[in-house]
């Protein structure tokens, strides 16, 4: 039987990997369509909002990576046991997305001449501001982001770390032992580990 | 009895107004705390992630405006009748947030010398790219963003239009009759209308 889901993204981790982590964790069958940087301009006009990743579900094409993660997280019991827990998980994922967005702005949407100054602000201010608060949140919540148990916010961080570290050219979690331990825990979940071992190689 | 919720933001619409729309629509009692631009630096360090808006619920302080909107939307039956509908509503709100973020980057986080060029790209490319697709989505869904009925995505757009139009110094919905009609419909919901009539004045 054909897979129910078709995920389309570049052949990179980037914004696609958090969705792929959810699908791997849930052992959900899908078609992992990877578009080269050269092919993308031809497909862009017909894609929803001209952006990837997007996913086809029930014949409908949907964009927005965090929303797609949440959709699968609900099926996998990773989105909160009640509305208040869901809010805390959602807010955490959105804050991780904010950090990613800021680093992505620097890397993909800045002029070369502005990059050294922007990098300095990221390294000395922005990244420590986010990560020190994430570190405290995980420390206060018994090794996870919310209420001492696994949620999609944890997978969301783990799936973003390599991409962000590649862009910053150093492990962004150095100096944050609770975050490192959390990511290691997520990446050692057998189904996530199997995915990491079999996924296509990519730099970002 | 003291209100259960304390919302803290600047005395502007901006990122606070979508939450205030949800609270107004649901007739939910809350404390609408407004911080001046002068006071904010003193409070910033102790706030979650150094950003507003944030809300106190059950004694916990939570940030992230879209997540907070979704939390109330679920209570108000504005977040989807099933998970697939919820996904479409969430993705729409996130895409509106992307547009807002891009306009916000131009206005709040650009150097003056770069603004004319950035404004030109926004007016000629970015804003039409988003709004023409929103227009089609609303046209295809019988006057609402998703499945022909009111959702928090509709309130989310309506609550953002004045702020974005103020920044762009023109009504961003000119030329998009379906979006204009949708916003008018939302703003004429009696409880929203009452809120618009009584809220503090602000430029943004």
pLDDT tens for A101-147 read: 999 989 988 889 999 999 999 999 999 999 999 999 999 999 999 99
Chain B residue with minimal CA distance to A128? B49
Residues of B in contact with A50 (CB under 8 A): 129
**B91 vs A67: CA distance, rounded Å:** 6
Q: Is A170 on the interface with B (CB under 8 A)?
A: no
**A126 vs A130: CA distance, rounded Å:** 6
Find which of A50, A67, A75, A110 to mutate to test the B interface (most B CBs within 10 Å of its CB).
Answer: A67
Nearest to B53 by CA among B31, B74, B75: B31
Q: Is A105 on the interface with B (CB under 8 A)?
A: yes
A110-129 residues touching B, CB cutoff 8 A: 129
pLDDT of residue A47: 85
**B87, A67: Cβ pair inside 8 Å?**
yes
pLDDT of residue A143: 98
Tokens of B149: 């009925």
The interface predicted TM-score (ipTM) is: 0.95
Q: Is A108 on the interface with B (CB under 8 A)?
A: no
Tokens of B115: 């603004």
pLDDT < 70 positions in chain A: 1-3
- Quote the minimal CA–CA distance from A62 to chain B in Å: 7
Chain A residue with minimal CA distance to B90? A67
**A75 vs A57: CA distance, rounded Å:** 14
pLDDT of residue A204: 82
| Residue of B64, B86, B130 with shortest CB distance to A94 | B64
pLDDT of residue A203: 78
**A64, B94: Cβ pair inside 8 Å?**
yes
**Residue A42, number of CB atoms within 10 A of its CB:** 9
The pLDDT of B140-154, averaged and rounded, is 98
Tens of pLDDT, residue by residue over B31-90, are 999 999 999 999 998 887 788 999 999 889 999 999 999 999 999 999 999 999 999 999
Q: Is B130 on the interface with A (CB under 8 A)?
A: yes
Decide if pLDDT at B1 tops 60.
Answer: no
**B49, A95: Cβ pair inside 8 Å?**
yes
Our measurement of the distance from residue B75's CA atom to the centroid of its chain's CA atoms, rounded to an integer in Å, reads: 18
Find which of B61, B65, B67 to mutate to test the A interface (most A CBs within 10 Å of its CB).
Answer: B67
Chain A residue with minimal CA distance to B85? A71
Residues of B in contact with A101 (CB under 8 A): 101
pLDDT of residue B56: 95
Tens of pLDDT, residue by residue over B96-132, are 999 999 999 899 888 899 999 999 999 999 999 999 9
- Quote the minimal CA–CA distance from A174 to chain B in Å: 20
Nearest to B72 by CA among B55, B53, B92: B55
Judged by DSSP in three states, A54 sits in strand
β-sheet with A54-57: strand ranges across: A30-35, A5-10, A54-57, A60-63
Q: Is A44 on the interface with B (CB under 8 A)?
A: no
Rounded-to-10 torsion of CA B146, B149, B154, B158: 140
Residues of B in contact with A57 (CB under 8 A): 84, 87
Chain A residue with minimal CA distance to B80? A71
**B28 vs A38: CA distance, rounded Å:** 51
**Those residues with Cβ within 8 angstroms of residue A67's Cβ, 6 or more apart along the chain or in another chain:** B87, B90, B91, B94
pLDDT of residue B3: 66
């Amino acid at each position: 039987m054909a897979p129910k889901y078709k995920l389309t993204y570049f052949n990179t981790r980037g914004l696609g990997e958090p969705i792929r982590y959810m699908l791997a964790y849930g052992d959900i069958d899908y078609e992992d369509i990877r578009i080269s940087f050269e092919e993308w301009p031809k497909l862009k006009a017909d894609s929803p909002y001209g952006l990837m990743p997007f996913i086809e579900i029930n014949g409908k094409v949907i964009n927005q990576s965090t929303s797609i993660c949440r959709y699968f997280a609900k099926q996998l019991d990773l989105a909160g046991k009640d509305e208040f827990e869901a809010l805390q998980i959602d807010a955490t994922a959105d804050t991780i997305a904010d950090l990613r967005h800021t680093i992505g702005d620097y890397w993909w949407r800045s002029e070369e001449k502005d990059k050294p100054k922007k990098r300095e602000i990221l390294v000395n201010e922005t990244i420590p501001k986010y990560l020190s608060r994430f570190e405290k949140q995980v420390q206060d919540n018994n090794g996870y982001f919310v209420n001492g148990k696994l949620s999609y916010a944890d997978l969301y961080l783990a799936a973003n770390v390599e991409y962000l570290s590649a862009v910053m050219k150093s492990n962004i979690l150095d100096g944050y032992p609770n975050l490192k331990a959390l990511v290691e825990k997520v990446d050692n979940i057998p189904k996530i580990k199997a995915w990491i071992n079999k996924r296509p190689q990519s730099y970002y």
